[in-house]
Amino acid sequence: MWNAAHPCILEASAGQIPCRDAPHEISPAETGTDQLRKGGNQMDEQITGTQASTSTRDAGTPALEAIDITKSLPLGRERIAILKGITLRIAHGELVAIVGPSGSGKSTLLGIIAGLDSPTAGRILVDGADITRMSEAKLAQVRNASIGMVFQAFNLIPTLTAQENVEVPLYVGRHPGRPSARAKELLALVGLSHRLKNRPNQLSGGEQQRVAVARALATNPSIVIMDEPTGNLDKTNGDNVLQMIRELRAATGTTFVIATHDPDVAAAADRAIRIVDGLIATT
């Protein structure tokens, strides 16, 4: 699992530019919707463009393609290989589970797919665009428009309500309609119309996960990436979240890529990609 307290993760969860290399401190004063709107306006000056709608995505182009991805890390004078040449294609609308033992490299792969980390070699294509060769500003634009993230630790902003948390990505880049209307629509879709004004500490774990999923869907991304979505939930809430994922995929046509140890999640997927020792074992 990624370090949920890392500044890159916190920024990514709010739709800000992901700092793949350099850390960034978030000022305690930079909270609340007024600051988010200000930050979104500043971002508009750096990057432009609108989200890709589901209807305009090329059906012949995979939602996600990884080409010979390797990742190694230094350890003293040596390098430790984490990923050893991962190649895969995921079509639009698929629900794919990435499974494997702890330490196999699946969370590292998810981080690279999401643009939170860079591969040592290889390419990641999202809707045909190579995100491994993008500037940070361009990557932020693609992440905001095309990639939704759901973290195991939820990563909701504690000072914001459920509705405001879902609105956050919509203040970055340019998106049609009013953020509040979109947030209410998505929270209704995940069954939380009655929790709009509640903050995270007033929600159960299952409800926080639902808010995180709604936030990931806010910009109508082509891909939603989830790291152990049932890992912090009891059996009942885990089953509810899994059912919600199935229903959302059917309703929106969104591609879901889920790293999991949960056999129920893997069984519910269209297919499972098993990672063992940095390599794909089965597809």
Give the tens place of pLDDT for each residue, 221-241. Answer: 999 999 988 888 888 888 888
Neighbours of 118 (CB within 10 A): 17
Q: ∠ at Cα 262 (261, 266), nearest 5°? A: 95
Specify if 264 maps to a domain: yes
Q: ∠ at Cα 102 (150, 75), nearest 5°? A: 100
Domain count across the chain: 1
φ/ψ (deg, to 5) at 198: -85, 140
Q: What is the pLDDT of residues 161-177, one digit of tens each?
A: 999 999 999 998 788 88
Distance CA 205, CA 281 (A): 33
Specify if 164 maps to a domain: yes
CATH classification at residue 233:
3.40.50.300
Containing 168, the helix (H) or strand (E) segment is: none
Distance CA 78, CA 127 (A): 36
Specify if 34 maps to a domain: no
Q: What is the pLDDT of residues 250-279, one digit of tens each?
A: 988 999 999 998 899 999 999 999 999 999
Specify if 187 maps to a domain: yes
pLDDT band for position 178 (cuts 50, 70, 90): very high
Which regions of 131-200 does DSSP assign to beta strands (E)? 147-150
Are residues 67 and 242 in contact, defined by beta-carbon separation less than 8 angstroms?
no
Specify if 81 maps to a domain: no
Q: For 88-100, give one letter per residue: b (16+ CB within 10 A) or e.
A: bebebbbbbbbbb
Q: Mean pLDDT, to the nearest integer, of 41-66?
A: 55
Q: What is the pLDDT of residues 127-151, one digit of tens each?
A: 999 999 899 989 988 988 899 999 8
pLDDT at 72 over 50: yes
Give me the domain span that covers residue 194: 7-20+91-117+133-282
Predicted TM-score of the model (pTM) = 0.77
Specify if 124 maps to a domain: no
